Structure 1
Amino acid sequence: MQPSARTMGPTPMPARKVLFQQERTGLTYRVPALLPVPPGPTLLAFAEQRLSPDDSHAHHLVLRRGTRAGSLVQWGPLCVLDTATLPGHRSMNPCPVRDASTGTIFLFFIAVRGRTPETLQIRTGKNAARLCCVVSRDAGLKWGGAQDLTKQAIGDAEQGWATFAVGPGHGVQLSSGRLLVPAYTYRVDGRECFGHICRTSPHAFAFFSDDHGHTWHCSSLVPNLRSGECQLAALGGGLLYCNARSPLGHRLQALSTDEGSSFLAGQLVPSLPETARGCQGSILGFPAPSPGRSAPDEPESPEDEEIPGGDLSWLLYSHPTGHRARLHMGIRLSRSPPDPRSWTEPWVIYEGPSGYSDLACLGPVPRGTLGFACLFESGARVSYEEVSFCEFSLHDVLENVPPDHVNEAAGHCWPC
């Protein structure tokens, strides 16, 4: 069914709430992660607290809890996660995942020794990062002490890594119960004599657990093209989808047919351009509407109140839309993943400097559709002035993204 014609005029943008803001002292908040926790849902908004915008000045991880009050979210005060740290290390890259069967939240992060920059680790081939996790069993009110999982999850493979990191952003749980945490490493591909680096290459991969987080393991790496910061989504037919930052001008996607234990060769996605130097982006899978649902502009019927999910998944993607700089946060939709041609042009939800982001699904909302949220870096002059939160629905997305070329050519915009 063809969508009805849209009225011409400025594209609407969702209301925005600033959750973290750069302070006069220089404290800066970057690298957001967002996790909805039932019931409600409660929203957990994480970020890095840095002494300055510089990566090497990362300090603590922080959290704000949001609770639903009617159509609004009421946000609690900023809380510093004092337990999410290792002595002598700085905490970076929050990456939460929740086990639905136990209610346990695992907040993964990397702890990096002192102020050792990533560039130095890559140049020398000497890793200064540790894989760490803190756990909450009460929806993020209290957190346990930091666990260093590096030896358990990585083992001897660490000797061939110049450095690594998780996410940033959310992890996922599969229908099998497997928990997955996205990650990437700079693999040492060759060394000169005396231990100096010859060359390295970045590769996305995943950490996973099949026993509710008691033990963790690492997958094999995306084998070919260079890929970095990434996120994961489950697709129909047993496929796991990885979307990663790449220095090759476009995003990279890679599939797994064994629930993330390994990945097939990655491929560039021409319809998802990177900024000049690349930027983290968020990916989110959700059940496609059933084939018989009406188009968003048609009147809803009582049976439209449910959001049935089958084997077919759609994907949302958030990323700055500027090609030369991190500008204008955009939302894109794929109705036919993993076809790299299936992405729409973006719906810009914020005009101005924008950076890292994380998407979350909030479940059913009025009008028989799904609700989503995006937590993203934003600012008036530079992208790290604040971290903002906004909500929108699948109806809003369908109203505001231009039609994708694949489904337009097929003469429909709904799965059949």
Structure 2
Amino acid sequence: METPLVPMRTVLFQSERNGLTYRVPALLPVPPGPTLLAFAEQRLSPNDAHAHRLVQRRGTLEGGSVRWDAVRVLGTAALEEHRSMNPCPVHDAHTGTVFLFFVAVRGQTSEAAQITAGRNAARLCCVTSPDAGRTWDGPRDLTAEAVGGAEQDWATFAVGPGHGIQLPSGRLLVPAYTYRVDRRECFGKICRTSPHAFAFYSDDHGQTWHNGGLVSNLRSGECQLAVVDRGQAGSVLYCNARSPLGSRVQALSTDEGTSFLLGELVPTLAETAWGCQGSILGFPAPPSSRPGDQGWSVGSKKTPFAPSLCPGTQESPEEGVRDTPEGGGLHGTERSGNGPRDPGLREPSPEPGLGGDRRGWSLELLRPSATLTQSPTWLLYSHPTGRRARLHMGVHLSRFPLDPHSWTKPWVIYQGPSGYSDLASIGPTPKGALTFACLYESGARVSYEEISFCVFSLGEVLENVLPRAEPPPLGGKPQQQCWPS
């Protein structure tokens, strides 16, 4: 049997004998070239509570390889008496500014402690660079501006981790999640919290920032975003999020992230035990993939799009979301006061900031059609493929991004312990092949020994993902459907 291709990798960040550990990678290409900016958390130990500062390496494309400069501690990306976590960069193509978002967490206050007490210790911060990461200015604390009064209902929050995006309209989007306080009735203690993905956004090139509505109906955490072009039907914003429910959660926005429609489970993208961060990347489908062209025989062909809007029936026991090196995160921090009714079964709130106004829902977007034609946008997704442990970094492809059943089986790009990752498109090769990069946690014994970088082409993805079985005919057993009333 032929051994599958594995891309060559370069180790960019390596744990040290004194305990210094690098976690939570983020990758951003910045034109021209592009220049590649690789970020990570530098921790005094693998423990979340021992996160310290953010670090960076700049890479320059030279022919078919990348030349990296030395590791650099970003001293300005910090608040006094806080630790810097969750790097989340985004590039404004109109101004050339790179924004590096992160959360600054007070002292060694853990996420679990914030959730238990219902008292947020995180600040939303960013630093900016006008010269593709060569220099960085001082930190901006955006918490009062971008979170505002919502902070009283959030036990904690974080951004990304991984890259943010800019929409064709110019809006900048930073993926985020919060633990919302759902009830405070136990003698002043927290009785229930639930994690929900959302986005921060700016419509004035980063001068001001705002928080968007939550993915309100399913527990969803660390997330990333992509724009999906639907041709004549317009574009939608796609969110893919970590979840403790056994598989990933996806949600769509028709108003550029101001609010999200109901989330749904993605059964073809299984979660690792306790969940793990994953990366999502949208890119234009190659010209030879036009409808009627059979040149790309990958995944399902024309699959029916029948999304389930009753995902609460598939839920599993509650877990938390923040990551720990032992494969934790999802470490049971939602346990206190669990009642018989799960927040995953809630109807979305009609109030702004909690899923958007029902009257604004575009049901036409979600209704199934007889056939699903080739999408102008394809998606890549990276995540460990192990079900019980963080093992074997895999890359999946979807040619029909709005269909949660359309994902291929993974191409394993690294055999062994692996964890968080971030994908980037780095443009065509000299021969014209669309090329991607992945920055991911890896190791021989545990997933946080190092952070590796690799490059691969779309052609290599297509050669290595395994075709899925043909879907049942439309006349077969009907799929469950449940439309909002």
TM-score normalised to the size of structure 1?
A: 0.91
| Equivalence for 2:148 | 155
Task: Give 2:396's match in structure 1, choosing from 332, 336, 359.
Answer: 332
Partner Cα separation in structure 1 for residue 100 and residue 405 of structure 2? 34
Corresponding position: 1:285 with 2:282: yes
Q: Give the CA deviation at 1:338.
A: 1.1
Per-residue CA shift, 1:3-56, capped at 9, x if unaligned? xxxxx5110100000000000111000000000011111100000000000000
| Equivalence for 1:301 | none
Unpaired stretches in structure 2, ≥5 consecutive residues: 298-373, 475-485
Secondary structure of 1:235's counterpart equals strand
Contact 1:342 1:405 in 2 (8 A): no
Aligned AA (1:91): S
Aligned AA (2:272): T
| Equivalence for 2:240 | 243
Contact 1:110 1:130 in 2 (8 A): yes
Corresponding position: 1:100 with 2:93: yes
Partner Cα separation in structure 1 for residue 39 and residue 469 of structure 2? 36
Q: Give the CA deviation at 1:295.
A: 3.5
TM-score normalised to the size of structure 2?
A: 0.79
Secondary structure of 1:154's counterpart equals helix
| Equivalence for 1:109 | 102
Aligned AA (1:368): G
Corresponding residue pairs, total = 391
| Equivalence for 2:128 | 135
Aligned AA (2:258): S
Partner Cα separation in structure 1 for residue 121 and residue 133 of structure 2? 28
Corresponding position: 1:349 with 2:413: yes
Partner Cα separation in structure 2 for residue 75 and residue 407 of structure 1? 45
Contact 1:341 1:406 in 2 (8 A): no
Partner Cα separation in structure 2 for residue 193 and residue 340 of structure 1? 39
| Equivalence for 2:433 | 369
Matching of residues 10-409 of structure 1 within 5 Å: 10-236=3-229, 237-290=234-287, 291=289, 295=295, 312-405=376-469
Q: Give the CA deviation at 1:283.
A: 0.2
Contact 1:342 1:406 in 2 (8 A): no
Secondary structure of 1:398's counterpart equals helix
Shift >3 Å, 4+ stretches: 291-297, 404-410
Contact 1:183 1:207 in 2 (8 A): yes
Contact 1:222 1:264 in 2 (8 A): yes
Secondary structure of 2:395's counterpart equals strand
CA-atom RMSD, angstroms?
1.7
Per-residue CA shift, 1:393-414, capped at 9, x if unaligned? 001000100124468989xxxx
Q: Give the CA deviation at 1:368.
A: 3.0
Unpaired stretches in structure 1, ≥5 consecutive residues: 1-7, 298-309, 411-416
Secondary structure of 1:12's counterpart equals coil
Partner Cα separation in structure 2 for residue 295 and residue 60 of structure 1? 47
Structure with greater strand percent: 1
Contact 1:344 1:405 in 2 (8 A): no
Aligned AA (2:88): C
Partner Cα separation in structure 2 for residue 351 and residue 254 of structure 1? 30
Q: Give the CA deviation at 1:195.
A: 2.3
Aligned AA (1:375): L
Aligned AA (1:314): W
| Equivalence for 1:304 | none
Per-residue CA shift, 1:120-146, capped at 9, x if unaligned? 000110000000000000000000000
Aligned AA (2:184): R
- The alpha-carbon distance between structure 1 residues 366 and 401, as it changes in their structure 2 partners (threshold 3 A), is farther
Partner Cα separation in structure 2 for residue 154 and residue 68 of structure 1? 38
